Structure 1
Amino acid sequence: MFIEERKFEYWMNRLVSHFETVNRKIDKLSNTENKINDEVLLDNQDLCLLLKVSKRTLQRFRSSGKLPYKRIGKKTYYLESDVHEFIQNGFSKK
């Protein structure tokens, strides 16, 4: 099978252009952080991994008032500064 050089270059340029577009979209998605007033918001999964605790333990911290949180839609978020303060105060104290 033989492909004309111009057609080959045309399709290769389209393919490269498409890959570049996809790459830009992936970079944009991976670099986005949830922020409110220039402060990073952490979700349950982020905080579970950070503190090495379960979702139920986070629920206990929230219910006891030890860990401030925000609800946006049906998702729970924690301000990074609140998490730092919570850690400094010793989150394991009950």
Structure 2
Amino acid sequence: MYLDNNDFTLWMEKLSKKLSDIGKDLKTVITTGEAFVNDDKLLDNQDLAFLLKVSYRTLQRYRNSGKLRYFLVRHKTFYRMADVKDFIQSYASKKEIVMFNKGIEESKILK
């Protein structure tokens, strides 16, 4: 396929506009510090392991047993905060629930 200078210039302008739009969207996500899906915060393995004070392997056991709901995006595991709260309420003691809620409040303060 042959592109003359005008076609190439138009193609580059379209590409530049698309990249600018993507950059604006990313900047919005970065400045808010939140990733939302249906107004629900998402956690990855690192976030959840830190929050629950467990290892990645423990999270894997919870996933494999069906106790903790999750989804994958390009081989990366994510958890919805609502699913994590349901998991905590189903399988944790009252003391652990209080500690979990305290951890959430502390993480909001640190941001």
Q: TM over 0.5, yes or no?
A: yes
Matched-pair identity in %: 51
Return the offset for 1:26: 8.2
Return the offset for 1:31: 2.5
| CA root-mean-square deviation | 2.2
Q: In structure 1, what residue type is equivalent to 2:68?
A: L
Q: What corresponds to 1:36 in structure 2?
A: 37
Return the offset for 1:28: 6.0
Distance 2:28 2:73 in 1: 25
Q: What corresponds to 1:65 in structure 2?
A: 66
Instruction: Give the structure with the higher percent helix.
Output: 2
Instruction: Say how many residue pairs are matched.
Output: 68
SS at match of 1:89: helix
SS at match of 2:91: coil
Distance 1:28 1:63 in 2: 31
Return the offset for 1:90: 1.6
Unaligned runs of 5+ in 1: 1-24
TM-score by length of 2: 0.54
Greater Cα shift, 25-34 or 66-75: 25-34
Return the offset for 1:43: 0.5
Q: What corresponds to 1:76 in structure 2?
A: 77
Return the offset for 1:34: 1.7
Distance 1:57 1:42 in 2: 16
Which 4+ stretches in 1 moved above 4 angstroms?
25-28
Distance 1:39 1:71 in 2: 16
1:28-70 superposed Cα distances (whole Å, 9 cap, x missing partner): 6253312111111110011001100000000000000000001
Distance 1:58 1:91 in 2: 14
Alignment of 1:44-63 (within 5 A): 44-63=45-64
SS at match of 2:77: strand
